[in-house]
Amino acid sequence: MLRVGIGYDIHRLVRHRKLVLGGVHMPFAKGLHAHSDGDVLLHALCDALLGAAGLGDIGIHFPNTDTRYKNISSLKLLEAVNCAILERGYKVSNIDSVLIADSPKISPYRNSIIKNISSTLKIKSAQVNIKATTSEGIGPIGSKAIASYAVALLLKVKRKH
Ligand code: MG
């Protein structure tokens, strides 16, 4: 049985924050405003995985009012989401994603992002695809904020116990 899920996230770019995307710290003048590390790519991915498994969304699992998640690495959230879907008897078939950022350039970090995601989800790098695009400077998404979309396809490997 196949299950598909979609995720979307956006965070504002602000000064005095580290920029972390796909678990990779990118030297940049601004970072993303959030309760956690603001990793929009991983948040969109968590929502895609949770959605595919019928497990709600990231806000239900990791409320931004909970001090345990303050500045937490979103790789830890992704790891917890992976545990939740494995427990439900699913495994990841593949994931695909789009990052929308006018800058910095994502391509130099692409392989590191794929490595972070595949090793956290314990899947092959060929099962993870990352795409990056800009908004061509025509709107706030990409310049004032960074956004991400993700989809995940899960396979049911065992019955829920
Ligand atoms: Mg978020």
Structure tokens at 52: 């595919």
Q: Establish if 38 belongs to a structural domain.
A: yes
> What is the pLDDT at residue 55?
97
Continuous H helices in the chain: 40-52, 58-61, 74-87, 110-121
pLDDT band at 69 (very low <50, low <70, confident <90, very high): confident
**Which phi and psi (to 5°) does residue 65 adopt?**
-95, -5
Distance CA(88)–CA(48), nearest Å, equals 15
Domain range holding 49? 2-156
Using the mean position of ligand 1's atoms as its centre, give its distance from the Cα of residue 61 in Å. Answer: 12
In the structure, ligand 1 is a single-atom ion and the residues with CB under 5 Å from it are 9, 43
Distance CA(160)–CA(40), nearest Å, equals 30
- Is residue 73 within 8 A of residue 23, CB to CB? The reply is yes
Q: Establish if 111 belongs to a structural domain.
A: yes
Q: What's the domain count of the chain?
A: 1
Beta partners for residue 141, in sequence order: 145
* Confidence (pTM): 0.95
Q: Establish if 161 belongs to a structural domain.
A: no
pLDDT in tens, 89-141: 999 999 999 999 999 999 999 999 999 999 999 999 999 999 999 999 898 99
For the segment 9-22, the average pLDDT, to the nearest whole number, is 97
Which CATH number is 135's domain given?
Answer: 3.30.1330.50
pLDDT at residue 13 greater than cutoff 90: yes
| Residue type at 103 in one-letter notation | S
Q: Is 158 exposed, middle or buried (0-12, 13-18, 19+ CB in 10 A)?
A: exposed
pLDDT band at 161 (very low <50, low <70, confident <90, very high): low
pLDDT band at 64 (very low <50, low <70, confident <90, very high): confident
Distance CA(23)–CA(155), nearest Å, equals 25
Beta partners for residue 3, in sequence order: 154
Using the mean position of ligand 1's atoms as its centre, give its distance from the Cα of residue 138 in Å. Answer: 23
Structure tokens at 129: 């695809």
pLDDT band at 158 (very low <50, low <70, confident <90, very high): confident
When mean pLDDT is compared across 31-35, 51-55, 62-66, 84-88, the lowest value belongs to 62-66
Using the mean position of ligand 1's atoms as its centre, give its distance from the Cα of residue 73 in Å. Answer: 12
> What is the pLDDT at residue 54?
97
Question: What average pLDDT does the chain have?
Answer: 95
Using the mean position of ligand 1's atoms as its centre, give its distance from the Cα of residue 159 in Å. Answer: 31
Q: Establish if 108 belongs to a structural domain.
A: yes
- Is residue 107 within 8 A of residue 132, CB to CB? The reply is yes
Using the mean position of ligand 1's atoms as its centre, give its distance from the Cα of residue 37 in Å. Answer: 9
pLDDT at residue 160 greater than cutoff 80: no
Structure tokens at 117: 């995601």
Q: Establish if 133 belongs to a structural domain.
A: yes
